[in-house]
């Protein structure tokens, strides 16, 4: 088997698991139960033990939830997963387009006479429950806190992860943990807050300059923390993970077993800062009126990368780019029909592993050819593994977790000769990617203010894509990092040091998919003689150095500015990467970066 960490239900397993859950729902005197893709830490990714949604339904997307009633089970997914969910769930589950259809609206429609719907208060953020309760007012539908009913029927549920936690070197972090704690504690004091509750694993990792491996593909450890206004930190994490960390954590960090976390939160005095979008409802209940929704104190400082983190990320991208170029040179030497999607994944991961600083890939590699490429977050399995056929496209989205940085890159590649529709759509996607890469904008704008720039070429052709234009990326942390995003719903202003992806795409269900992705870092824009002297402008610097496939470009569609950007980018790719690849890859690179 190719895949690891797989606890996903096969289609034939879904119905009996659903039936067993319904028996538990009845035994609790409930009419329904909510199954989110979440754990108590409320991060985007979950350990195999917490993969309840995929175990029950078969759906493996990184966002979504299931509402199980006695007569209906809805699997709620956003636009990224509409094609995927239809492939993965049994007929007993009904895909629901979310957020177009709200959970409250769906519950009211399917429980017209009201009912009692259970939820695990550790697996739902306080803000989610507060919003849902408000939307259900006067409907007769009641939300009821219960233990986790899925855990009762999951007899072979994996154990909780207990991987060792390791120090993250100051040379990579760029700032000591003590300095971070003192800086954030000062913010708490100024805001009149006595403490902040932190549940997100990547925030704890960043704050204390540590890294773990509890979550596949993410260098984080599961735990909780309380940051006090005097810079002390209470860390709640299994002792087995913290061997040999006493010197690194120092005297300001007090270690506790996780079972003591809820009681410690209940005992806090004064105003306590939380992020209602991530703090579990169970903790909001014990805090009561002491709670203030002030956000995760680590979120923005973590997003604003310092010089060491930016330099490390840039260095990681150069080495990662060399591995990807070796893969592309190898791939072009293979005949159409001779490789499968998994062959490409295995070869790419083998090439990345040659780097001694690689700790893992940064997510499950997406290698989708033909109609599989139209599944935006496609994950190849032994059952879905397709042959790369002449005339098809291959969407290859991958990345690495290096000690000095996290990478994420997508390239769309032709297998044999591409068709005219594919080339036209690819060129529009490329135009959107170039437009965002060239953009300058006034300081203070958020992702929602500029995201459309990367869509305009597609819009002019009556086309679009159902995912955000870009996400934040960590520094040897989560490949999806908030709060910054290039998204219609992101109100967080972009700031110097933030790293984001730029990844427009186009997907034609049942036919092909296209996506091009580079990572960019926000910088102060270079001075221009025409610029307003009082107006601060920001711009991007590209971190990713891998050619964009010229065979898929209709050069006549490009403007002179777009052509100049592409040629300049390819010159930089050749100059930065050529010395670090094999002679065969150098020859391939010379051709791939030729002037267009």
The CATH architecture one would assign to domain 166-295 is 3-Layer(aba) Sandwich (3.40)
By CB neighbour count within 10 A (0-12 exposed, 13-18 middle, 19+ buried), where does 460 fall? exposed
Instruction: Quick: pLDDT tens for 324-367.
Output: 999 999 999 999 999 999 999 999 999 999 999 999 999 999 99
Alpha carbons 49 and 595: distance in angstroms, whole number: 51
The pLDDT assigned to 79 comes to: 84
Closest CA to 569 of 525, 520, 524: 520
State the distance between the two ends of the chain, measured CA to CA, in whole angstroms. 42
Domain 304-584 - what CATH class? Answer: alpha beta
Instruction: Please name the residues in contact with 137: beta carbons below 8 A apart, sequence gap of 6 or more.
Output: none
Sorted by where each begins, the domain ranges of the chain are: 14-153, 166-295, 304-584
Banded model confidence at residue 3, pLDDT cuts 50, 70, 90 = very low
Among 31-40, 75-84, 402-411, the range scoring the smallest mean pLDDT is: 75-84
Instruction: Quick: pLDDT tens for 109-165.
Output: 999 999 999 999 999 999 999 999 999 999 999 999 999 999 999 999 999 999 999
The pTM assigned to this predicted structure is: 0.94
Q: How many Cβ atoms sit within 10 Å of the Cβ of residue 342?
A: 18
Instruction: Quick: pLDDT tens for 274-327.
Output: 999 999 999 999 999 999 999 999 999 999 999 999 999 999 999 999 999 999
Instruction: Quick: pLDDT tens for 565-596.
Output: 999 999 999 999 999 999 999 999 999 999 99
14-153 against 166-295: fold identical: yes
Taking all residues of the chain, what is their mean pLDDT, rounded to a whole number? 95
Residues in the chain: 596
Alpha carbons 156 and 416: distance in angstroms, whole number: 46
Instruction: Quick: pLDDT tens for 487-498.
Output: 999 999 999 999
The CATH architecture one would assign to domain 14-153 is 3-Layer(aba) Sandwich (3.40)
Share of the chain above pLDDT 70, in %: 99
Burial 487-505 (b: 16+ CB within 10 A, else e): beebebebeebbbbbbbbb
């Amino acid at each position: 088997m190719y895949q690891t960490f797989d606890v996903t239900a096969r289609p034939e397993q879904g119905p009996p698991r659903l039936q067993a859950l319904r028996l538990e729902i009845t035994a609790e005197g409930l009419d329904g139960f909510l199954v989110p893709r979440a754990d108590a830490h409320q991060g985007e990714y979950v350990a195999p033990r917490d993969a309840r949604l995929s175990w029950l339904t078969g759906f493996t997307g990184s966002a979504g939830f299931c509402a199980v009633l006695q007569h209906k089970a809805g699997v709620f997914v956003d636009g990224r997963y509409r094609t995927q969910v239809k492939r993965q769930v049994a007929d007993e589950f009904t895909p629901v387009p979310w957020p177009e259809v709200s959970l409250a609206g769906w519950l009211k429609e399917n429980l017209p006479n009201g009912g009692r719907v259970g939820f695990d208060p550790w697996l739902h953020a306080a803000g989610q429950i507060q919003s849902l309760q408000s939307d259900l007012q006067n409907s007769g539908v009641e939300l009821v806190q219960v233990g986790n009913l899925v855990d009762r029927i999951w007899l072979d549920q994996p154990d909780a992860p207990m991987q060792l936690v390791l120090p993250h070197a100051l040379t990579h972090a760029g700032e000591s943990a003590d300095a971070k704690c003192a800086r954030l504690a000062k913010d708490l004091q100024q805001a009149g807050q006595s403490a902040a509750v932190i549940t997100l694993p990547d925030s704890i990792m960043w704050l204390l300059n540590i890294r773990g491996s509890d979550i596949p593909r993410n260098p984080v450890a599961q735990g909780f923390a309380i940051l006090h206004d005097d810079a002390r930190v209470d860390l709640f994490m299994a002792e087995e993970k913290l061997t040999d960390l006493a010197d690194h954590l120092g005297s300001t960090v007090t270690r506790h077993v996780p079972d003591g976390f809820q009681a410690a939160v209940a005992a806090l005095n004064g105003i306590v800062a939380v992020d209602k979008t991530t703090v579990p409802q169970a903790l909001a209940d014990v805090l009561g009126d002491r709670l203030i929704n002030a956000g995760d104190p680590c979120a923005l400082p973590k997003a604003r990368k310092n010089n060491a983190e930016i330099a490390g990320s840039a260095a990681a991208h150069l080495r990662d780019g060399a591995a990807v170029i070796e893969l592309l040179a190898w791939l072009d030497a293979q005949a159409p029909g001779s490789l499968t999607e998994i062959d490409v994944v295995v070869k790419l991961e083998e090439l990345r592993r040659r780097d001694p600083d690689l700790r893992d890939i940064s997510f499950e590699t997406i290698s989708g050819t033909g109609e599989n490429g139209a599944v935006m977050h496609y994950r190849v399995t032994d059952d879905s593994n397709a042959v790369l056929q002449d005339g098809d496209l291959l969407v290859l989205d991958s990345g690495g977790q290096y000690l000095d940085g996290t990478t994420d890159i997508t390239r769309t590649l032709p297998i044999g000769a591409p068709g005219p529709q594919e080339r036209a759509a690819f060129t529009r996607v490329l135009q959107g990617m170039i437009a965002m890469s060239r953009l300058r904008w006034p300081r203070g704008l958020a992702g929602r203010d500029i995201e459309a720039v990367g869509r305009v070429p597609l819009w002019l052709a009556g086309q679009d894509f159902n995912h955000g234009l870009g996400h934040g990326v960590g520094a040897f942390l989560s490949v999806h990092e908030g709060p910054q995003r290039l998204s219609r719903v992101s109100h967080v202003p972009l700031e110097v040091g933030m790293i984001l992806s730029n990844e427009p795409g186009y997907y034609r269900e049942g036919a092909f998919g296209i996506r091009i992705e580079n990572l960019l870092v926000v910088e102060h824009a270079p001075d221009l003689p025409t610029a307003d002297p009082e107006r601060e402008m920001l711009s991007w610097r590209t971190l990713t150095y891998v050619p964009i496939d010229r065979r898929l470009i209709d050069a006549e569609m490009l403007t002179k500015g777009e052509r100049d950007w592409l040629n300049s980018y390819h010159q930089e790719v050749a100059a930065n990467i050529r010395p670090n690849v094999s002679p065969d890859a150098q020859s391939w690179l010379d051709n791939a970066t030729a002037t267009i």
